[in-house]
Amino acid sequence: MTYLGMRADDTSRTVERLEPLLQDAFPDATEVSVVDRTGTGDHFHVTVASSRFDGLSLVDQHRLVYEALSEPLADGTIHELRITTRGVK
Amino acid sequence: MTELADRIKHVIDDEPVALFMKGTPQMVMCGNSHRALEALRRAEAPVTTVDILPDPAIRQELSAQSGWPTIPQVFVRGELVGGADICEELEASGALERTLEEKLGPGYRESREEKVVSVL
């Protein structure tokens, strides 16, 4: 994927690529949202609420999100990632 | 262990609070590094910063050691606290100050200073 000349439909495609990765990693999630913060398809804020986070430290909660998004993080699709996690208890 | 890996490990293990960031407190080069630094300042923490920008190997080696893929990274007494989001969240709830009190002692604010060290 190229950053130069990225069109609006490309950026929404990136959001559409990230959401399923999160839904697969957190099948019980009561909330999964991916917001393109800058409209450029590379700065995202993801929010996930899942029972997988119950009892985990914030570091370990965020590690699970990084794990779920390891591929787009590694290939440069995600330039910046903000994370909000919540358990359900 | 390479010398670089060794120096990174020493900063993490030996500094009360270590912040690996883009830039320095005097010239922050990234919004997220700024957010983490400001959260630590609000908690009145002593902070030792390492600029990861001078050599890409710093970031690679740091993430290999911490298992954390992004910058900034904050450690208190050798333990990863998290990145900018976690620091802000912990600071807002008061949990960051509690962690600092537990790990550095109730008088941690007295040793408050900002230090810059190099791992190169």
CATH architecture for residues A8-86: 2-Layer Sandwich (3.30)
A81 Cβ under 8 Å from any chain B Cβ? yes
What's the number of domains chain B is made of?
1
B102 Cβ under 8 Å from any chain A Cβ? no
Question: pLDDT tens digit string along B29-79?
Answer: 999 999 999 999 999 999 999 999 999 999 999 999 999 999 999 999 999
A35 Cβ under 8 Å from any chain B Cβ? no
Contacts B67 to A, Cβ<8 Å: 63
- In angstroms, the Cα distances linking A6 to A10, A14, A18, A35, B63 are 6, 11, 17, 17, 29
Question: Hey, are the CB atoms on A63 and B68 less than 8 Å from each other?
Answer: yes
Cα B119 to Cα A35: distance, rounded to the nearest angstrom: 36
Question: Hey, are the CB atoms on B83 and A73 less than 8 Å from each other?
Answer: no
ipTM: 0.89
- Look up the pTM and report it: 0.91
- Domain boundaries, position B41: 3-117
